[in-house]
Amino acid sequence: MVFKMNKTPRILNGIEIAAEIKAEVAAEARALTAAGVTPGLAVVLVGHVAASEIYVRSKVKTSAELGLHSEMLTPPESVTTEEMLALIAELNARDEIDGILIQLPLPAHVDTRRLLEAVSPEKDVDGFHPINAGRLQSGKPALAPCTPAGIMEILRRSGLPVAGQHAVVLGRSDIVGKPAAMMLLNASATVTVCHSKTVNLARYTRDADILVAAIGKPGFVTAEMVKPGATLIDVGINRITDAAEVARFFPEDKARAAQFAQRGSTLVGDIDPAAFELAGAYTPVPGGVGALTIAMLMHNTVQAAKARRGAKALAVAAAAAKA
C-alpha cells in the first residue's frame, strides 16, 4: 500500500544552489587573481564523442564566466596510453594548471585507471585518485568527486538534517555511490549501501530517511519502495525515447508530452516521478543533482589553486595592503 503525504513535497532546486556556489567561486577566483594567482583548469577530451564535447564546452565556458583560466586538450582517438601519460606528466609539471580533468569514457584501448592514478592528487579535481579517496575515507580534507559533493551541498544548503538520519545509497560506483556513502557517513548519518545483488531491496529503501538513487535505471525506485516524508536524491539522468514509457512516467504532464513530441525524447531519473508525491523533499530531473556537477568542479579547481599557490599569494597581497 502506498500512503500519500498531506503536504506538498519540497523541490530541491539544484539550479539555484549551483548559482550560489558559482557566485562564491567567482568571488574566490577574483581574490586569488588580485593576489597574482588565476586558478587554472585543464580538460582532456580524447576523440569525438558528441555528448562529451558538449559537456566539456560547458565546463570551459563556465570557467571563463567565473574568472578561471581553462584549456581544452583534444588528443586523437588513436592516442596511446603512453602518449596520454606523457601529456598528464606535462600538465602535472605546469604550475599555472591547478586542476586536471580527464573526460570519461576513454577509448577501450586506453588504460583509464593508469591515467587517473597518474594525475597529481593535488590537481585531481575529479577526486578519483586513490590518495584522495583514502583521505575522504579517513575524514581528512580532500578533493572530492563532484557529484557526491554536490549532493552534500544540496542537503546542507537546504537545511536538511543528515546527522542521525538513515541514508540508503542505491549504487556502488567509484564515481558516485561509494564516495556519497562515505560523505554521508562522515556527516554522521547511518549509511546502508545497496546494489544490484542486494536481496529484498525495498526492505532497505523503505527505511531510508535519505535515499540516494544512483543506479542508472529509469524509474527504478517506485512509490512502493519509498518511506513517506523521506528526502529523495535522484542522481540518474536517463534519456527515454519510447512513447509508452513517457506516458507511464508522466501520465498527466502536458509539458513533458509536448517536449517528447518535439524532441523525440525526454529525461527521467532513477526514481519514478510518482514516488516524489510521497517525499518530504526531492531533487527533480533535470534541474537537480546534475546542475551541481560543474559548479563543484569549479569549486574544486579554486580549492586546488588555494592549496597549491593561493596561501602564499594571498599572504603577499595582505602584506602589500598593509604597507
Tell me the pLDDT tens digit for each residue of 65-104. 999 999 999 999 999 999 999 999 999 999 999 999 999 9
* Residue keyed to cell 604550475: 95
96 shares a domain with 183: no
The more confidently predicted of residues 2 and 246 is: 246
151 shares a domain with 116: no
Mind listing the pLDDT tens digit for each residue in 256-285? 999 999 999 999 999 999 999 999 999 999
Percentage of the chain lying above the pLDDT 70 cut: 94
Residue-level pLDDT at 56: 87
Whether residue 323 is contained in a domain is answered as: no
92 shares a domain with 156: no
160 shares a domain with 104: no
Q: Is the pLDDT of residue 60 over 80?
A: yes
Whether residue 251 is contained in a domain is answered as: yes
Q: Which of 120, 137, 165 is the last residue of a domain?
A: 120
251 shares a domain with 179: yes
Residue-level pLDDT at 2: 52
Q: What is the CATH number of the domain that holds 213?
A: 3.40.50.720
Q: What is the CATH number of the domain that holds 69?
A: 3.40.50.10860
CA angle 251, 257, 259 (to 5 degrees): 145
How many folded domains does the chain comprise? 2
Distances (CA, A) of 125 to 101, 112, 295: 6, 16, 12
Whether residue 10 is contained in a domain is answered as: no
- What one-letter code names the amino acid at 245? E
Phi, psi of 112 (to 5 degrees): -60, -45
152 shares a domain with 115: no
DSSP E strands, the chain = 10-11, 40-44, 69-73, 99-102, 166-170, 190-194, 210-213, 231-234, 238-240, 266-268, 281-282
The more confidently predicted of residues 53 and 174 is: 174
Whether residue 320 is contained in a domain is answered as: no
Residue-level pLDDT at 51: 75
DSSP E strands, 45-202 = 69-73, 99-102, 166-170, 190-194
188 shares a domain with 110: no
Residue-level pLDDT at 4: 56
Mind listing the pLDDT tens digit for each residue in 161-209? 999 999 999 999 999 999 999 999 999 999 999 999 999 999 999 999 9
Whether residue 11 is contained in a domain is answered as: no
List 103, 123, 124, 165, catalytic entry: 103
287 shares a domain with 152: yes
**Domain limits at 170?**
146-292
- State the pairing for strand pair 266-268/238-240: antiparallel
In the 8-state DSSP scheme, what is residue 108? T
Residue-level pLDDT at 323: 55
List 98, 123, 124, 126, catalytic entry: 126
93 shares a domain with 178: no
Residue (of 40, 39, 16, 106) closest to 295 by Cα position: 16
Residue-level pLDDT at 315: 63
In the structure, what pLDDT confidence band is assigned to residue 314 with cuts at 50, 70 and 90? low
Average pLDDT over residues 24-35: 94
Average pLDDT over residues 47-69: 88
In the 8-state DSSP scheme, what is residue 250? -
172 shares a domain with 101: no
Buried b or exposed e, range 182-201, using 16+ CB within 10 angstroms: bbbbbbebebbbbeeeeeeb
Active site residue 126: yes
Residue-level pLDDT at 304: 96
List 59, 123, 178, 227, catalytic entry: 59
Kindly report the average pLDDT of the chain as a whole number: 93
214 shares a domain with 81: no
Average pLDDT over residues 297-309: 94
Average pLDDT over residues 154-165: 98
Q: How far apart are CA 46 and CA 76, in angstroms?
A: 6
Whether residue 42 is contained in a domain is answered as: yes
